[in-house]
């Protein structure tokens, strides 16, 4: 961000004003340390349990830390992973992932409490009688949300309800609301999301909106709208914007929860990633984008599974960044990243528009770290009388 930068009109909702007070004519530098907006990824199951070679594991975690500020378990938190056999609950893998993210400054969301599609319910769950099934469903919410209370406070509740109705078919439509209520009971601070696919293409948008409207009318504590974005073709920016505009009627935050593009044309992948990220970052209702994996050897559409190097990953099997990785980095760490050098005016004032997030400010040998979380904020920092000090370490160095 050059020293003469002005707020970017179409990104004003991503920015705030920083006012630095120091001696007249003094040099002022502002360096962004982290984004408020979630730029995240799913973390491959098993990556922390020793499945990959040690060198790949080390590289995976380094790339994860350098490029993302948030994450979600790919499969490790799903019910079929944590309770393969009835009553034998094991959060070890999910906990290890959370611990690493917590230690390395990545925020996490929970995916998912339930999965509405029949094929993802364990056999033992399917064999339960209705009353036993209801009890098991309640116990799952209480145990999971209690276990992660204060550690993870955002969850996809009943994944893909537009496309699956296993629990509703067995226990009746009210179970959908009850699932949310049980989660809230276990963690009143939890932000509970809907999550589904086929929405950004507008194909299933009417069904999704009807479902959200119905559940809200029943008093269901929905806290956010999740949109999967598994693209098999181009990203239609106008259509995506219309979808986001339409969903904004609910006045709920929107996350792109699962993003990838299946194509062997690497240049096309880069173009479509840019289209999706620009459209969503520009939209005021969207609060984050999480891609569904980033490395070709640990991806649900990976070279290992399909025998083709490419498809959706941003880094190939040998850790070479593909064009999409470079586009992603350019957007997140260059175009949407605060870098300012300038001088205070004759009154010792320097005004800097900054992207929301954490920033290090330096002037006259003094230094501090501040965080701005709300667009339109105006925060004053007085460095005129502060002694020089070591600030918070930068843990994510942009290219």
Q: Which entry of 36, 83, 93, 160 is annotated as an active-site residue?
A: 160
Is-contact 297 44, C-beta < 8 A?
no
User: Residue 149: which pLDDT band, with cuts at 50, 70 and 90?
Assistant: very high
Q: 281: helix, coil or strand? A: helix
Query: Where are the chain's structural domains?
Result: 9-34+338-382, 37-335
Task: Tell me which range, 229-243, 287-301, 307-321, is most confidently predicted by mean pLDDT.
Answer: 229-243
Whole-angstrom Cα distance, residue 310 to residue 316? 7
What would you measure as the largest C-alpha separation in the chain, in angstroms? Answer: 77
**pLDDT tens-place string over residues 291-300:** 999 998 887 7
Say what the pLDDT of residue 126 is. Answer: 98
Is pLDDT at 396 greater than 80 in this prediction? no
Average pLDDT, the chain: 91
Tokens of 397: 């160095």
Prediction pTM value: 0.92
Is pLDDT at 52 greater than 80 in this prediction? no
Say what the pLDDT of residue 363 is. Answer: 95
Say what the pLDDT of residue 392 is. Answer: 39
Lowest mean pLDDT among 92-101, 123-132, 260-269, 341-350: 260-269
Whether 258 is catalytic is yes
Specify burial of residue 53 (Cβ count, 10 A radius: 0-12, 13-18, 19+). Answer: exposed
Q: What is the DSSP code string of 194-234?
A: EEESS-TTSSSHHHHHHHHHHHHHTT----EEEEEEEESS-
Whether 154 is catalytic is no
**pLDDT tens-place string over residues 166-206:** 999 999 999 999 999 999 999 999 999 999 999 999 999 99
> Which residue's structure tokens are 């880069």?
270
Indicate the class that CATH gives domain 37-335. Answer: alpha beta
Instruction: Indicate the CATH number for domain 9-34+338-382.
Output: 2.60.40.10
Q: Which entry of 93, 258, 272, 274 is annotated as an active-site residue?
A: 258
Say what the pLDDT of residue 233 is. Answer: 78
Residue 185 CA: distances (Å) to CA of 79, 83, 141, 144, 298:
19, 21, 9, 12, 35
Run of H or E residues at 125: helix 123-126
Q: Does 9-34+338-382 match 37-335 in CATH topology?
A: no
**pLDDT tens-place string over residues 373-382:** 999 889 999 9
């Amino acid at each position: 961000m050059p020293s003469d930068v002005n707020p970017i009109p179409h990104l004003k909702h991503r920015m705030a004003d920083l006012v630095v007070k120091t001696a007249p004519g003094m040099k002022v530098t502002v360096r962004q340390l982290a984004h408020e907006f979630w730029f995240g990824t799913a973390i491959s199951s098993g990556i922390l349990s020793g499945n990959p070679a040690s060198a790949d594991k080390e590289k995976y975690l380094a790339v994860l830390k350098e490029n993302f500020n948030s994450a979600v378990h790919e499969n490790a938190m799903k019910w079929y992973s944590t309770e393969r056999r009835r009553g034998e609950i094991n959060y070890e893998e999910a906990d290890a992932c959370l611990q690493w993210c917590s230690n390395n400054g990545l925020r996490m969301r929970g995916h998912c409490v339930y999965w509405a599609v029949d094929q993802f319910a364990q056999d033992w769950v399917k064999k339960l009688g209705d009353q036993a099934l209801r009890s098991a469903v309640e116990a799952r919410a209480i145990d999971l949300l209690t276990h992660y209370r204060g550690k993870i406070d955002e969850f996809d509740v009943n994944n893909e309800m537009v496309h699956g109705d296993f629990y509703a078919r067995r226990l009746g439509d009210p179970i959908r609301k009850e699932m949310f209520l049980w989660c809230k009971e276990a963690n009143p601070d939890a932000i509970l999301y809907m999550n589904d696919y086929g929405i950004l293409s507008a194909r299933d948008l009417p069904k999704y909106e009807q479902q959200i409207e119905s559940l809200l009318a029943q008093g269901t504590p929905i806290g956010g709208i999740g949109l999967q974005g598994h693209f098999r073709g181009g990203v239609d920016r106008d259509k995506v914007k219309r979808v986001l505009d339409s969903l904004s009627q609910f006045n709920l935050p929107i996350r792109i929860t699962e993003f990838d593009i299946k194509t062997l044309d690497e240049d096309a992948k880069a173009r479509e990633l840019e289209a999706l990220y620009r459209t969503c970052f520009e939209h005021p209702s969207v609060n984050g984008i999480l891609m569904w994996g980033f490395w070709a050897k640990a991806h649900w559409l990976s070279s290992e599974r399909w025998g083709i190097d490419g498809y959706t990953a941003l880094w190939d099997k040998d850790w070479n960044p593909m064009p999409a990785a470079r586009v992603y980095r350019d957007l997140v760490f260059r175009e949407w990243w605060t870098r300012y050098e300038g001088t205070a005016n004759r009154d010792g004032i320097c005004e800097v528009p900054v992207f929301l997030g954490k920033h290090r400010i330096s002037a006259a040998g003094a230094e501090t770290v501040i965080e701005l979380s709300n667009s339109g904020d105006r925060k004053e920092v007085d460095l005129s009388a502060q002694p020089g000090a070591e600030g918070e370490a930068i843990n994510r160095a942009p290219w």
